[in-house]
Structure 1
């Protein structure tokens, strides 16, 4: 099966969407599926207002059509709601072609935080974007319930996984810092709610791994915290394995793949009880969820690192890829690049 995924998020960006898509493609090959990507590569781009360093592609209709037709896919999936996503959506709509989408980022909340635009406006736009999709794939059951309450339809399930070969507890970095070490990792930006972590009165050390537009401000505002910048590959794994607790303060992530990455390194998680952490951590002795984030951090110190690792070992990217492909094949038994048919009832695709 040949699958084309359209995405506005791509390398050199470092985020959960990019990691998810590259891991999906790698795992899908073992399931007789070939995934190619329609990405911003080769298109002019524009800097995103309020987000220095992040650029968005400016695709053109003719080149989008050429790339799709050159790929000759059996199925088209739109992973993001940016300019590339909208233009591929328009291509499919003009030709009455079936396509699926995924909801991976809370853009309404992100935009509201940065611009003051009411989140309700953003959700209205996203409902319109996803309405023609055969299946709108979401990573967690709580997100599916939330979006359903907001009027989204045809919601299907596509969970996330973790590369337990790359992320492992075997070679932790040597960090000459007072213990315990409370660490967070990801984009250093306002929507990640890092101040909720950095403002806590905790013993030991608070460490931030990552880069982003808020780094200079937070470094100045919280001089006692350690900002290590961006880490990749084995170096990232070593730092996650060296932490005593991984703190995930975000209130807006739809899943938070980094939680699984930390657990695979044997590091328990502390987070707020919101979508993402509730679906990964709740009910398992691998972390602590609490509206009192400090209390969650201290309780997480008591969790078994072995239990964290074992939990991650059962959540492979191959299982994630199998779910993703199942959402396509359930709707498109032969070639999907053809006129759309009526989608089955939502209950038939919710996994």
Structure 2
């Protein structure tokens, strides 16, 4: 199939949405599909309000429409709800084309944490955005239940995976580290609740990997914490393997890929028992979930790293990609083109 994926997350960004789409695109191509990934990378952009590091596409409709017409996709998936997603949604509705969407990010909680908009207002807008979607893909059962209660329709599960060949236990030189080492990986922003980790009194060392609007302020307030900046995805394996515990203090993530990546390296997770961690971490096996983050961090130290790794092996990008394929909506009229493709190939195309 010819699959178009539209996203507002530029490929230069370092976050879970980019990594998920990168792995999914690779999986789709490996399964024999042709994929067009439309992102703001070639567009004129402007700074995202309150988050200037993130650039959003400025008036991208003409480019999105032209690209989709030229590609003539069999399926269109709109991954995000920003200007690129809005442009693709507008194009599909104008052309009478069915499409699917995804719910990656808890924007209502993010905006509420920044005192910008009440959650009810943002959820109303998101219901409007996803309303025409043939399938709204969500990462966990908890997120699905929450959105159902808020009136969303056509919800389906699209899980996540981990590259267990890249993220695996590796011997590192730990001689200079004061143990135990507690590691945070993610954006340094209010919605990530990172300060809950920074202010807890723990023995040993704390490392923070990532960047964001609060970095400078928190770096000054917590001089004993080592802020190492953002790292490329392929660099994270070394940092995970240095850690004794991966700390994930967020209350607002829909999944939390960094938890699975750390677990794949044998590093147990300490987190709150909230949606995201409760779906990813096996309490007492691959991590500790506790409303007392200090207790979770200390208890996680005693977990068997081999067992942590075994739990991470249950996550597969191959399985997640097949889920994604299954939920795609075949555009009306594309079946004729697809039938011709199928008859000319030696093996069937999956996910129809």
Query: What is the Cα deviation at residue 175 of structure 1?
Result: 6.4
User: How many residue pairs are counted as aligned between the two chains?
Assistant: 337
Q: Is the counterpart of residue 35 in structure 1 residue 35 in structure 2?
A: yes
Query: What is the Cα deviation at residue 312 of structure 1?
Result: 1.5
Query: What is the Cα deviation at residue 228 of structure 1?
Result: 1.1
Q: Is the 8 A contact 2:97 2:331 kept in 1?
A: no
The superposition leaves residues 101-151 of structure 1 with CA deviations (integer Å, 9 ceiling, x where unpaired) of 000001111111223310110000000000000000000000000000011
CA distance in 2, matches of 1:287, 1:250: 15
Over 3 Å counting, the alpha-carbon distance change for 1:76 and 1:170 in structure 2 is same
Query: What is the Cα deviation at residue 96 of structure 1?
Result: 1.0
Question: 1:259 corresponds to which residue?
Answer: 259
Question: 1:51 corresponds to which residue?
Answer: 51
Question: 1:226 corresponds to which residue?
Answer: 226
Q: Is the 8 A contact 2:206 2:225 kept in 1?
A: yes
CA distance in 1, matches of 2:23, 2:173: 24
CA distance in 2, matches of 1:217, 1:144: 35
CA distance in 2, matches of 1:272, 1:278: 8
- Stretches of structure 2 that go unaligned for 5 or more consecutive residues are 338-352
TM-score by length of structure 1 reads 0.92
- Stretches of structure 1 that go unaligned for 5 or more consecutive residues are 339-351
TM-score by length of structure 2 reads 0.92
Over 3 Å counting, the alpha-carbon distance change for 1:85 and 1:176 in structure 2 is same
Query: What is the Cα deviation at residue 191 of structure 1?
Result: 1.2
Query: What is the Cα deviation at residue 232 of structure 1?
Result: 2.0
CA distance in 2, matches of 1:17, 1:321: 14
Question: 1:204 corresponds to which residue?
Answer: 204
CA distance in 2, matches of 1:333, 1:39: 25
Q: Is the counterpart of residue 13 in structure 1 residue 9 in structure 2?
A: no
CA distance in 2, matches of 1:49, 1:177: 38
Matches within 5 A, 1:56-95: 56-95=56-95
CA distance in 1, matches of 2:284, 2:102: 27
Q: Is the 8 A contact 1:192 1:252 kept in 2?
A: yes
Over 3 Å counting, the alpha-carbon distance change for 1:183 and 1:336 in structure 2 is farther
CA distance in 2, matches of 1:277, 1:173: 29
Over 3 Å counting, the alpha-carbon distance change for 1:226 and 1:154 in structure 2 is same
